[in-house]
Amino acid sequence: MNFIILESNFMNCNYNMANGVGSGSGSLTREERRRRRRATQKYRTAHATRERVRVEAFNLAFAELRKLLPTLPPDKKLSKIEILRLAICYIAYLNHVLDA
């Protein structure tokens, strides 16, 4: 595995030298530096943690919205799209009640 990585780096270095680009980390473009940073285990772990927290907050928000919507039976399991559609209808109904 190390041989493949070294060979890949060597090929990159030869390509960069042939195209007039210097060696070293100072010659990397912003996109290349970003790709290398994202390839690290530390970055992937941190990203996965952030995504997990985001999804948990998202699901909690849907659960809170679900509690506010009247359905029969009250504990009926609804998908996220069903929750959104029901919320739209319920808001429209409440507006209608207020206007009457």
Q: Is the pLDDT of residue 96 over 70?
A: yes
Question: What are the residues whose beta carbons fall under 8 Å from the beta carbon of 62, sequence distance 6 or more?
Answer: 80, 83
- Return the structure tokens found at 63: 């659960």
Q: What is the pLDDT of residue 17?
A: 47
CA distance 47 to 40: 11
On the question of pLDDT at 10 being above 50, the answer is no
pLDDT of residue 100: 86
Q: Model's pTM, two decimal places? A: 0.60
Mean predicted confidence (pLDDT) in 81-99: 96
For residue 56, what are the domain limits? 2-99
User: How far, rounded to the nearest angstrom, does the alpha carbon of residue 60 sit from its chain's CA centroid?
Assistant: 17
Q: Tell me what the mean pLDDT of segment 44-59 comes to.
A: 96
Total domains in the fold of the chain? 1
Residue 87 and residue 97: Cα distance in Å, rounded?
15
Residue with tokens 């690290």: 40
